[in-house]
Amino acid sequence: MNRSFQEHKRIWKGAWLLTVTALFIKILSAVYRIPYQNIAGDIGFYIYQQVYPIYSAAFILSTYGFPVVLSQMLTGERNRSKRQSTLLISLSALTLVATGLFIVTYFGASTIAKVMGDEALVLPLKASSFSFLVVPFLSTLRGYFQADQWMTPTAISQIVEQLVRVFGILGFAIFLLAHGYNVYETGAAAALSSVLGALTAVIVLLFFLHGKFDSIKLDSKYVRRLIKPVVYRLFKHGLLICISSLFIVSLQFIDAMTVLNSLMSKGFELEAAQVLKGVYDRSHPFVQLGATLAVSLSLTSVPLITQTVKKRKYNETKKYITLAYRVCVAIGSAASIGLALVIVPANQMLYETSDGSFTLAIAGSSIFFYSIVLTSVAVLQGYGDYWTPARSIAIGCAIKVVLNPLFVHLFAINGAAIVTVLSTMVTCALLVRQVETRSGVHLREIFISQSLVVSLFYMIFIILVYQFIIDQMFGVMNGSRLFAGIETITTVMIGVIVFGRTLVKRGYFSIDELLNLPFGEKFILFLGKRK
């Protein structure tokens, strides 16, 4: 028992640095867009969100995709010539593909802008295309370090990249708009800030590489023999590994390509459609932040799932899968419902107005489904199944492509939010079914748990009572951004405490399950040990 506990601790520590880094980056990535919208307005925010999926795809591939596959190919390989051949082939293949993507995006920017319905987007699209050119270098360097289990360079480079990017985006926005530049030029500068952040990350990695890399000694026989398997594995697994992260980006890209045109076909003028799309885009930080918080604890079980699958300890595997879903379903459902309850003041607190609050509440429902998608993909990949998540996500994206124009034409931006929920819901259902088939765990019992339902209803009741009381007491302050902020923060705090304590006290989690989570003991003390 003690040996098993120590082994679990070792696994946590091994993934801790990158996990914390990833959590920091995801939160920062969600949060910085709020001040950007405050600075650039809804139209400026719309412009940024139109090109954001391009950078985001490049970032995901160079952080979660290609480096992981490359490190897997290099790990345990002691033949220096083979290692260097693998690195060279990977760098060359990635450079070739990245250059192709850059050419298509840069020289096809006018065509892409026309398809999007806004020809003025050419400059931001061209600026964002440069993100692809940095992918080969970031991927190869990070993969090299991770193969030796040295995660510090990767973690520091990711943090530096995001800090430079965020400060650049906000700094350029303030400076350019204050000096008379338009929102499209500001959007292009924001895209170039992302490229600047990536270049800074390359410099950081090269600093760590200095003095560490052996003299290059390539053997042509290894190069010829390894080209096909290395390239095949790099791109096949590189895309499949980060498929869950690419899912939400794909949905955003589909929105970028369809929403504006569909709004104009409904009768909106260009500027009105841009404002509406910008209001709809306010939902992305909410969804990203909510899903990140929902899976940050559930995904800590994934290394244990992978380890127990490899050792064929399937009873333990079932235990950790159950724990992962319990956490994910609880936090995801509370986040979705809680956001709907607090969306009006939260929208005003963060974005100055409460415009589009109903749309944001609809979109917020996808937090629940998307967090389960992320958990399910991680569990299936723990079993070595990469194709099932890819197929399920492809179906979800297809639903978005087919239904988005119709629903936006019928219901404006509410339609786009509805289709996002439908897409994530169908993908979620497909993946949960596959996890049940693969693992033998009856997950549906978790979704209809009486203790969960009671805890959610109790949270809803307490929040509604609290909001009624403060609205009656401070009604004169309604409409104030400060009051909206106070109401949002206090409501969230009350909701978290009420939901968490009720959940634990009603036995949704066992004490053993809580102890298997990071900071489990402190969590029990904070919420109050179940009797």
Q: What is the pLDDT of residues 166-219, one digit of tens each?
A: 999 999 999 999 998 999 999 999 999 999 999 999 999 888 887 665 555 555
Question: Average per-residue pLDDT in the chain?
Answer: 84
Note the helical H segments in 365-386. 366-382
Among residues 201, 228, 191, the alpha carbon closest in space to that of 50 is found at: 191
Confidence label for 285 from pLDDT (cuts 50, 70 and 90) = confident
Q: Considering the domain boundaries, does residue 504 fall inside one?
A: no
Give the range of the structural domain holding residue 232, as residue numbers without chain letter. Answer: 18-241
Answer yes or no: is 79 within a domain.
yes
Summarised one tens digit per residue, pLDDT across range 50-80 is 999 998 888 888 877 888 788 877 776 666 6
Domain presence at residue 190: yes
Determine the pLDDT at residue 209: 82
Query: What share of residues in the chain are helix, strand, coil (percent, to 5)?
Result: 85, 0, 15
Radius of gyration (C-alpha) of the chain in whole angstroms: 24
292: closest CA among 262, 323, 335, 253?
335
Residues in the chain: 531
Q: Higher model confidence: residue 157 or residue 221? A: 157
Instruction: Let me know if residue 219 belongs to a domain.
Output: yes
Side chain identity, residue 180: G
How far is the C-alpha of 248 from the C-alpha of 456, rounded, in Å?
26
Is 102 domain-assigned? yes
pLDDT at 430 over 80: yes
Question: Could you read off the pLDDT of 343-389 as tens digits, one per residue?
Answer: 999 998 888 888 889 999 999 999 999 999 988 988 888 788 888 88
Question: Residue 528: inside a domain, yes or no?
Answer: no
Between 62 and 419, where is the model more confident? Answer: 419
Query: What is the number of domains present in the chain?
Result: 1
What per-residue confidence (pLDDT) applies to 530?
47
> Helices 33-60 and 2-31, interaxial angle, to 10°?
120
Domain assignment of residue 118, yes or no = yes
Evaluate whether residue 419 is within a structural domain: no
